[in-house]
């Protein structure tokens, strides 16, 4: 075991200059001694500074009002993104298509992931125009502070509140120590009792209360009983948010044809669904090495790779399951329509 640690030590050290975040899997990141001396909070501080530096170079991608909204709140919201006829055509296209899908169950919620590689989008012109268009792409890139290629899915959350344990995504959390972007373009109205996306405004900033929280968690995370917390996705209760002086969470119970792009370094959660519900969105996620000094040079934009991150992710999960014989979190469920009942 000691020899293995010696062999892994250079890799653990190199991970300090990447987006690696797990305190339990990297004993350097999880070192209480080093974190008492500021290792984690200084990584957070540097990641934010580099992100702000890159984002200034991408300011042309969004309006001044959206720049101000992101700086203040940590998210950008656009309503009526498409003209009414374009929105209706996109909805009809999505609703009438059979898609190859993967599903993940977490408590009483199933999340359905439908990758959208070029060969799928070529037959869906309205969906292709949205996924490759400026509102979706540019806002994601600005918030993520990188002009990289986002991972894109049709994203469906199917919840039956009375079946199984509570959905863990309803706990407030930060995805990682660095600024990162996730987007949801909602294809139908989201009501308050249907598990809307919920966000703590301003929690993406390294304010004194956020600095104190990060410092305290860095000393405890490696031995935290919640494995997601130990892997760097810090959990926080609604009560602790209030006690620490964070803003009150806001929920995005919004009409269809609304785009929400949020920095998920800020605290966020899926609202509790109080009745059986189906939430359908075009989803994008974009995260790159937080310490890079440039906005481009993304190898995933090379011909043959561009637009395929979602597809590659589920293919890798399937291959891992075949090689190890162990079920992975995402299970292929065959061809489905977006809103049909869960299959797992």
Nearest in space to 176 (alpha carbons), one of 35, 25, 3, 22: 22
Per-residue pLDDT at 121 exceeds 90: yes
**Domain 21-289+299-336 -> CATH class:** mainly beta
Which pLDDT value is given to residue 3?
66
Distance from C-alpha of 85 to C-alpha of 211, rounded to nearest angstrom: 47
Q: What is the DSSP letter of 330?
A: S
Query: What are 83-96's pLDDT values in tens digits?
Result: 999 999 999 999 99
Per-residue pLDDT at 166 exceeds 90: no
Q: What number is the average pLDDT over the span 39-53?
A: 98
Per-residue pLDDT at 229 exceeds 70: yes
Which pLDDT value is given to residue 164?
81
Which pLDDT value is given to residue 278?
95
DSSP 79-114: SS-S-HHHHHHHHHHHHT--EEEEEEEETTEEEEEE
Domain positions in the chain are 21-289+299-336
Per-residue pLDDT at 141 exceeds 90: yes
In the chain, count of helices (H) and strands (E)? Answer: 12, 11
Q: What is the percent of the chain with per-residue pLDDT over 90, rounded to a whole number?
A: 91
Distance from C-alpha of 173 to C-alpha of 267, rounded to nearest angstrom: 5
Residue with tokens 């974009």: 286
* DSSP-based three-state secondary structure for 234: coil
Which pLDDT value is given to residue 215?
98
How confident is the prediction for the chain on average, in pLDDT? 95
pTM of this structure: 0.94
The answer to whether the beta carbons of residues 23 and 29 sit under 8 Å apart is yes
Query: What are 285-313's pLDDT values in tens digits?
Result: 999 999 999 999 899 999 999 999 999 99
Q: What number is the average pLDDT over the span 54-72?
A: 98
Which pLDDT value is given to residue 315?
92
DSSP 175-200: S-SS--EEEEEESS---TTB--EEE-
Least confident window among 21-25, 142-146, 320-324? 320-324
Query: What are 239-286's pLDDT values in tens digits?
Result: 999 999 999 999 999 999 999 999 999 999 999 999 999 999 999 999
Which pLDDT value is given to residue 90?
98
1: pLDDT confidence band, cut at 50, 70 and 90?
Answer: low
Which pLDDT value is given to residue 4?
67
Which pLDDT value is given to residue 163?
82
H or E stretch at 9: helix 2-14
Residue 100 CA from chain centroid, whole number: 21
């Amino acid at each position: 075991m000691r020899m293995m640690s010696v062999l892994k030590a250079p890799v653990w050290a190199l991970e300090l200059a990447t987006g690696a975040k797990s305190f339990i899997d990297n004993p350097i990141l999880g070192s209480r001694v080093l974190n008492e001396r500021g290792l984690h909070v200084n990584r957070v501080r540097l990641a934010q500074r580099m992100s702000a530096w890159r984002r200034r170079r991408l300011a042309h991608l969004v309006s001044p009002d959206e720049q101000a909204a992101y700086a203040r709140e940590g998210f950008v919201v656009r309503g009526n993104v498409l003209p009414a006829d374009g929105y209706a055509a996109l909805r009809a296209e999505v609703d009438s298509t059979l898609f190859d899908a993967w599903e993940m169950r977490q408590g009483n919620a199933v999340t359905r992931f439908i990758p959208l590689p070029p060969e799928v989008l070529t037959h869906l012109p309205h969906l292709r125009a949205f996924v490759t268009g400026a509102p979706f792409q540019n806002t994601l890139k600005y918030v993520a502070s990188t002009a990289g290629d986002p991972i894109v899915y049709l994203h469906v959350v199917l919840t039956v509140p009375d079946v199984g344990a509570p959905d863990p995504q309803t706990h407030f959390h930060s995805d990682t120590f660095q600024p990162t972007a996730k987007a949801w373009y909602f294809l139908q109205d989201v009501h308050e009792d249907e598990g809307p996306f919920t966000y703590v405004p301003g929690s993406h900033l390294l304010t004194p209360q956020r600095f104190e929280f990060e410092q305290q968690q860095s000393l405890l995370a490696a031995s935290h009983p919640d494995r997601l917390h130990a892997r760097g996705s810090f959990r926080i209760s609604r009560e602790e948010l209030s006690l620490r002086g964070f803003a009150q969470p806001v929920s995005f119970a919004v009409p269809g044809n609304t785009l929400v792009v949020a920095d998920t370094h800020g605290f966020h959660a899926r609202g509790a669904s109080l009745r059986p519900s189906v939430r359908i969105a075009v989803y994008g996620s974009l995260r790159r090495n937080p310490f890079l000094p440039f906005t481009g040079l993304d190898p995933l934009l090379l011909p043959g790779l561009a637009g395929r991150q979602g597809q590659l992710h589920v293919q890798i999960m399937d291959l891992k399951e075949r090689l190890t014989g162990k079920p992975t979190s995402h299970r292929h469920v065959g061809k489905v329509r977006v809103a049909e009942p869960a299959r797992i």
